Chains A and B, each alone.
Chain A
């Protein structure tokens, strides 16, 4: 079984004339087959955690560790991390003009699988995966994310998830900007991926509504750049009722 361990992770970003620490010591262990939800108010550092795991150059890890099955992730390049089995579904997927979705998907699958998928089987596989997510087949000929609506971009992220089958997927606010139907379709896609084997999910969200579709095993509350409380799904219910006030106010009252 795979394990993703995050140990005392500190991450800074460059700001005018210096650096600012965003993550202040994150500890988290996810095992294959588990789904962890990270919930927190805006600005608590949730997305920074997602990008730090994926290796975005803007985020500098100043101390701490990320281990995938005991192997140091932080020394890997962004693409090495992906090939090692990490996947980040981005909150704002990037448009890549000039590169068709078909070409992109095949290049990614070739890189992650270590060999080019057999063309005939590949076309079938992509078609089926697109159909599962209610994506118009014509999208394969369009440039990556170019001119896609927010919901279409999120479907593309989950499409990539289903084709690349990572060991661990980080979903960064994949639910934001989705209408009810799109949320259902995207959630079903994530659930299919979860059923596919011993895969772990780190679900980052601001809202509890996606948790009605994707049931987490563990819920973490994120505030001030670290996990401040962990619990079962019932913790999400409490957040739904009372909000994040308890975690963002100073203790003294």
Chain B
């Protein structure tokens, strides 16, 4: 077992019988498809300590679910509903926490969406089971070799959802993937995204978190062959009382792969909380890796809290570059005064700052309609506090 001192404390596993011994390395992270292999977390584990347990509506320990979410897919892709014995299930990755494993152990039908060089964007709509109902879901998105595809996964509705989203990017293919969390106010979503990047494959991912009472997304990127390139962008906007959590592990296990992570969150209102954990592991075999991860948080009002923990763990020196950064800034009275002193009214000043902050992410969304919709969503968030 490789010991890498002081790195990746967040990755303490929850394997049964392991107790509370912290893991020194992301490479030791425990994964399993079986919920029974995980202990019920105490809440003190590194990968749970930021998540408010009592707001998870029982997902914390449950192994049974009432329902499944409604999944519909627009035209342009091959859509199959398959049983859990389908050979493709699991190609994306393996659950790394108890809720993801519980959802995996519980689902009866999965939706497999295959993009076969579809030029037009395909929309996958996932609708929550409704208020008071707890659901487990499973979706897999896959491309075929040497194709280019665009998929938007829209999560909306009410209720509680634990699910796994597998994304299998075939060799030489490019997938543009946008996943939006635009839940109703009551909704709780604990999701796991498993990205498997093929040889010379490219993933351009954008994760958008706006709605819901609690949203926690755990994303893992794995490379199946050299030449893989993953860009993961994130945009979150937490309002009063909202908990938005983004946990990422980019696991570089093969040479000549690239990853770029950039997540930006804005927070406003009492009890607004964002959590960003960015882990990058460069294993000994992953020579010539090029990676950068960055998190920026903008606190717009007092009473909001942003947690940000970047971890970079490097087991080989033969890399191109590796870096990480995190910063949380406050839109403060001095900035407001400065902009106002140039004639810009207070509400316009705040808009200017927020638009500027998110512009870097939004400008990378290539679908004009989606970009406009998200820009409108940001404007709507700004209107919430009446600024």
Contact with A along B279-320 (1 / 0, CB 8 A): 000000000000000000010000000000000000000000
Across-interface contacts of B339 in A (CB, < 8 A): 96, 99, 104, 107-108
- A100-117 vs B, Cβ < 8 Å mask (1 yes, 0 no): 100110011001100000
Q: Does B343 contact A (CB under 8 A)?
A: yes
Contact residues of A: prevailing secondary structure? mixed
Q: Is the CB of B343 within 8 A of A164?
A: yes
| Residue numbers in A under 8 Å from B329 (CB-CB) | 97
CB–CB A98/B356 < 8 A: yes
Q: Which residue of A lies closest to B351 (CB)?
A: A107
Number of interface residues of A (CB under 8 A): 31
Instruction: Tell me the bound Cα distance from A77 to B336 in angstroms.
Output: 12
**Helix, strand, loop or mixed for chain B's interface?**
helix
Which 3 A-B pairs rank lowest in CB-CB distance, beginning with the nearest?
A: A111-B343, A98-B356, A108-B342
Q: Is the CB of A107 within 8 A of B348?
A: yes
Q: Does A35 interact with chain B (Cβ within 8 Å)?
A: no
A88 and B352: CB pair below 8 A? no
Total number of B residues with any Cβ neighbor in A under 8 Å: 22
Query: Closest Cβ of chain A: how far from B296's Cβ, in Å?
Result: 8
List the A side residues contacting B345 at CB < 8 Å: 77, 79, 111
In contact, A111 and B298 (Cβ under 8 angstroms): no
**Which listed residue (A79, A87, A90) contacts B344, Cβ 8 A?**
A79
Given contact pairs A56-B337, A57-B333, A99 touches B353 in the complex (Cβ within 8 A): yes
Q: Is the CB of B338 within 8 A of A111?
A: no
Nearest residue (CB) in B for A82 is B343
Q: Does B340 have its Cβ within 8 Å of any Cβ on chain A?
A: yes
Shortest CB distance A7–B (Å):
22
Can you name 12 A-B pairs with beta carbons within 8 Å?
A79-B345, A81-B341, A82-B340, A95-B335, A96-B338, A97-B357, A99-B352, A99-B353, A107-B352, A112-B342, A144-B338, A164-B342
Task: Let me know if A90 and B338 touch, CB within 8 A.
Answer: yes
Other than A79-B340, A95-B335, A108-B339, give 15 A-B pairs with Cβ distance below 8 A: A78-B341, A79-B343, A82-B340, A83-B343, A93-B338, A96-B339, A96-B356, A98-B357, A99-B339, A104-B339, A107-B342, A107-B344, A108-B342, A144-B338, A164-B343
